[in-house]
Amino acid sequence: MDLLATELKSRSRRDEAGSQSWGWPRAKFARLGLPPVLLSVAALVAVLGWQAAGDAYHVLLLAQASSYAIGALGLTLVFGFGGITLLGPSVYFGLSAYAMVALVDHGLPSAAAILISVALVAAAGLLLDLLLERLQLFYQAIASVAIAYVVQDLANSLSGLTGGQLGSSVPPISFGRLSLTTAGRQAIAGWIVVGVVVTLLAAMLSGRYGRSLALMRQDTAVAAGAGVPVGRIRAVIMVVGAILIGLSGMLHSAITGYITPDGTGVSLSFALIVIVAAGGTRSMFGTTLAAIGYVFINDQLASYPQLAQLVYGGALIVFLFLPKIAWRSTISRLRRRFARERGSGGSS
C-alpha cells in the first residue's frame, strides 16, 4: 500500500511540473482525445458527403450513431474508467427523454427542458451512486439491472404520462430559430457534441482524475490511504456518466421522433453494453467506432431479429470473456509492435 501511494504522489508531482508548461499532461490528452475527435470529424465529413449526394438514409444512420456514441461514452466513463458496475444505463436514457418530452409538451422551450432534464438525471446519478457504493461488484450489477426493469415497468404503467406501451411522439429539438428537424442537422449537431464530449473527457482523465481512477480500480482502500477522495470522485463519475447517457436519450428520441418504454428499457442497456465491450472498456475511440458499427450492423439485421440476438450475444461473450481474440486486444498488440519498430528504427 505504501509503495502504491508513493508512486501516485510521484506521478502527481511529475504531472504538476508538466502542467505548469502545458496546462495538463499533453501526451496523454492527445492519446485519449485526438483519435475520437478525428473520428468525429470524419463522421461529419461523411454526413456532409451523403447529404450532398442526397442519401438521407445513411445520414439518418449516422445521426443515430452519434446518439449511441454519447451514451456509450458515458457508460465507458462509469464502467471502464470508474470501475463501477452499471448494467442498467437505460434508467438515465429513458428518464431524460421522457422528462424532456413532458416539459416541452407543457410549453417549455427545448433549451430549458434539456437543462432541467440534465439536472434530473444528474440527481438520479448521484442517488444511484449512494445506493450502489456499499455493494460489491456482483450485487452492483444485479441492483442496477433490477432498477432498470423497475423503471421500465413504471413507464409502461404510467400511460397517462408516457403513453404506455404505445409510446408517444417526440417534438424536434429547437434553439430559437434553429430547429433540428432534419436528419442532416441532427447528425451534424450529434457529432459536434461527440467531439466536445471526448475532448472534455480526455482533459478530465489526463490529469488527477485519471490517476485517481486508475488507483481506485486497483484498490479503493489503497486509494483512500493515498489521500484520494474516493467517495467524491465516484459521485462525480456517476453524475457525469448519467448526464452523458441522458443527453444520448434526449438526442436519440428526437432523432427517431418517437419514444416507448421498451425502446428505452433494458434492451437499450444491452445495446450500450455491447458497444462498450466491443470498443474497449477504456477506449473512447473504440467506443465511438463501435457505436457507428452497431447502428449499421443493426440496420442490416433489422429483418432478422433472432439472428441479431445471437450476433450481439455472441459478440458480448467474445469481447468480455475472450479478450485475446477481441479486436481491441489485436489493436493493442499492433500498437505495441508499431512502438517497438519505431523505437528500433530511431535507435538505428
What is the DSSP secondary-structure string of 144-193? HHHHHHHHHHHHHH-HHHH-GGG-EE-PPPEETTEE--SHHHHHHHHHHH
Q: Report which of 99, 70, 63 is spatially closest to residue 247, judged by C-alpha positions.
A: 70
Q: Dump pLDDT digits (tens) for 32-59.
A: 888 999 999 999 999 999 999 999 999 9
| Low-confidence residues of the chain: pLDDT under 70 | 1-25, 137, 315-348
Give the per-residue pLDDT at 255. Answer: 93
Q: Count the Cβ atoms, other than its own, within 10 Å of residue 326.
A: 18
Whole-structure pTM value: 0.82
What is the DSSP secondary-structure string of 292-319? HHHHHHHHHTTT-HHHHHHHHHHHHHHH
State the distance between the two ends of the chain, measured CA to CA, in whole angstroms: 41
Give 331's strand partners: none
Give the per-residue pLDDT at 187. Answer: 95
Give every CB contact of residue 164 below 8 A, 6+ residues apart in sequence: 156, 157, 158, 261
Residue 228 C-alpha cell reads as 484520494
